[in-house]
Amino acid sequence: MPAAQQPEWPDREALAEAVAELGLAPSLVLPEECDTLRDRLATVARGEAVVLQGGDCAETFDGAREEQIDAKFRTLNQMAAVVAEAAVMPVVTIGRMAGQYAKPRSHAHETRDGVTLPAYRGDLVNASAFTPESRTPQPGRLARAHRVSATTLNLLRALAAHSRTEFWTSHEALVLEYEHALTRGTPSGPYNLSAHTVWVGERTRRPGDAHIDYVARIRNPIAVKVGPTTTPDDALALVDRLDPEREPGRLTFVARMGADAVRDVLPDLVAKVTAAGSPVVWVCDPMHGNTFLADGGFKTRRLDVIVDELRGFFEVHRALGTHPGGVHTELTGDQVTECLGGTYPVTPADLPTRYETACDPRLNRGQSLDLARALADLYAEHQLSRR
Ligand SMILES: O=C[C@H](O)[C@H](O)COP(=O)(O)O
Ligand SMILES: C=C(OP(=O)(O)O)C(=O)O
Ligand SMILES: [Mn+2]
């Protein structure tokens, strides 16, 4: 099957060894935990709870530090508290954490000063420094991704137990060698035991392709990103393929339309998927459709535009009487300067100060809480309008 966005591993023998090693590595989560998350997501599908999913665009091995993990965890939980109070509903909190190490890219290569090298595809594949050694895909990184995921998850489990909260992990199922090696057979079928839930990205969601075939076979709750070119027929094909039993909590669509498209494109998708009897969870990713290049070459996003896409998402669901199931966002607990705006605004001139992301621009801690307050207002309005 065609598989888009796969690394070109130069050393197939080393790759086979790495995959064999990974196949023997302990799983990171239990199938029963994945089932419990599916139950939680089923409450979202019924309109009784809300999803808050977030974390780095690309986690890095060097970024797996106690302070950074703790700051992300606390930021997500503070956001969840703000939203839960306004929505008067429980929040299902899911980190893009403990495994979000692989990136699809717009271009397979990058050219600087006349030198062309493979693009950085995430720490699971290569390193971001612009040298031939760094950019060559290294199979040894697969096992390292598993180890760093395990240490990250260990701290997350301790933090969650200490604050008596549930916290789930997720990443994009992108590099198929990695995902396959951590997929394990159980009496109730295969599970990807590297995370509680995984998603298929906008660039790899074609129904005939390997990524959709893969997630069709695993028993985890799964998600698919759907961008502005998605047709209702595309969405219905995904529903039939990925959730033939119409099982609440099994399938989430993460709409990442862009603020200028969400009000035009989303209504038809939601209406037709709903009419087909699908209990899919609808989540809004207001980040990926709103990226642009600022002066100086910094990829960035504006918080007011991000909030506008969220508002459009709520308008669509209010008009159709469907449930706005939550938000999927890229954020960090640190005060980086990667996205513009906020109560303590980041201006274009501030961007170089702390631009640290390995891939896409993230909301900083303050902007994340701004987003949570905007989301809280939207849920409060939504609840009022339903009464
Ligand atoms: O996270 C999403 C994509 O990987 C990212 O936007 C691609 O970025 P690029 O256009 O710089 O390749
Ligand atoms: C690659 C990503 O998004 P999308 O597939 O929606 O472009 C991402 O979530 O980082
Ligand atoms: Mn991203």
Ligand nearest to the CA of 103: 1
The residue type found at 57 is C
Q: Residue with the nearest Cα to atom 8 of ligand 2?
A: 57
Measured distance CA(61)–CA(215) in Å, rounded: 26
Residue 106: C-alpha distances to residues 178, 200, 226, 267 (Å)? 21, 16, 16, 27
At residue 103, the pLDDT reads 98
Ligand nearest to the CA of 171: 2
User: Is the beta carbon of 58 within 6 A of some atom in ligand 1?
Assistant: no
Measured distance CA(8)–CA(125) in Å, rounded: 9
**CA nearest to 183, candidates 134, 151, 207, 216:** 216
Ligand nearest to the CA of 225: 2
The residue type found at 295 is D
At 152-174, the pLDDT tens digits run: 999 999 999 999 999 999 999 99
DSSP 175: -
H/E stretch holding 211: helix 210-217
Q: How far away, in angstroms, is 3 Cα from ligand 3 center? A: 19
At residue 386, the pLDDT reads 83
Kindly list the domain boundaries of the chain, sorted by start residue.
Answer: 12-386
- Residues 6 or more apart whose CB falls under 8 angstroms from that of 242 comprise 212, 215, 216, 222, 224, 250, 251
Ligand nearest to the CA of 53: 2
User: Is the beta carbon of 156 within 6 A of some atom in ligand 1?
Assistant: no
Average pLDDT, the chain: 98
Structure tokens at 342: 């906020």
User: Is the beta carbon of 297 within 6 A of some atom in ligand 1?
Assistant: no
Pocket test for ligand 1, best of 225, 359, 362 (most atoms within 8 A of CB): 359
Contact call for residues 131 and 123 (beta carbons, < 8 A)? no
Residue with tokens 């501030």: 350
Ligand 2 atom nearest residue 57's Cα: 10
Measured distance CA(261)–CA(96) in Å, rounded: 25
DSSP 276: T
Q: Percentage helix, strand, coil, to 5, in the chain? A: 45, 15, 40
At residue 387, the pLDDT reads 79
b/e sequence 3-34, b meaning 16+ C-beta within 10 Å: eebbbebeeeeebeebbeebeebebbbebebb
Measured distance CA(326)–CA(370) in Å, rounded: 15
The residue type found at 220 is N
Ligand 1 atom nearest residue 299's Cα: 11
Q: Residue with the nearest Cα to atom 7 of ligand 2?
A: 202
Pocket test for ligand 1, best of 106, 170, 172 (most atoms within 8 A of CB): 106
For 258: left if phi > 0, alpha if psi spans -120 to 50, otherwise beta; the answer is left
Rounding to the nearest 10 degrees, give the CA dihedral for residues 45, 47, 49, 53: 50
**Predicted ipTM of the assembly:** 0.98
Q: Provide residues with CB under 6 Å of ligand 2.
A: 57, 104, 201-203, 225, 256, 285, 288, 360
Ligand 1 atom nearest residue 291's Cα: 6
Residue with tokens 């209702």: 232
Contact call for residues 281 and 253 (beta carbons, < 8 A)? yes
At residue 214, the pLDDT reads 98
Helix axes 303-320, 262-275, angle to 10 degrees: 40
Q: How far away, in angstroms, is 202 Cα from ligand 2 center? A: 6
- Residue 297, exposed/middle/buried by CB under 10 A (0-12, 13-18, 19+)? exposed
Going residue by residue through the chain (387 aa), what tens digit of pLDDT does each one get? 999 999 999 999 999 999 999 999 999 999 999 999 999 999 999 999 999 999 999 999 999 999 999 999 999 999 999 999 999 999 999 999 999 999 999 999 999 999 999 999 999 999 999 999 999 999 999 999 999 999 999 999 999 999 999 999 999 999 999 999 999 999 999 999 999 999 999 999 999 999 999 999 999 999 999 999 999 999 999 999 999 999 999 999 999 999 999 999 999 999 999 999 999 999 999 999 999 999 999 999 999 999 999 999 999 999 999 999 999 999 999 999 999 999 999 999 999 999 999 999 999 999 999 999 999 999 999 999 987
Measured distance CA(31)–CA(42) in Å, rounded: 17
Structure tokens at 105: 């890219």
Ligand 2 atom nearest residue 285's Cα: 6
Q: How far apart are the first and last CA of the chain?
A: 49
For ligand 3, a single-atom ion, which residues have Cβ within 5 Å?
Answer: 57, 360
Residue with tokens 């209010």: 318
Contact call for residues 83 and 50 (beta carbons, < 8 A)? yes
Q: Is 112 helix (H, G, I), strand (E, B) or coil?
A: strand
Q: How far away, in angstroms, is 217 Cα from ligand 2 center? A: 22
Q: How far away, in angstroms, is 360 Cα from ligand 3 center? A: 5
Contact call for residues 44 and 249 (beta carbons, < 8 A)? yes
**226, β-bridge pairs:** 255
- Residues 6 or more apart whose CB falls under 8 angstroms from that of 19 comprise 139, 142, 177, 180, 181
Contact call for residues 219 and 189 (beta carbons, < 8 A)? yes
- pTM, full prediction: 0.98
User: Is the beta carbon of 360 within 6 A of some atom in ligand 1?
Assistant: yes
Ligand nearest to the CA of 223: 2
User: Is the beta carbon of 57 within 6 A of some atom in ligand 1?
Assistant: yes
As assigned by CATH, the class of the 12-386 domain is: alpha beta
Q: How far is CA 58 from the centre of its chain?
A: 10
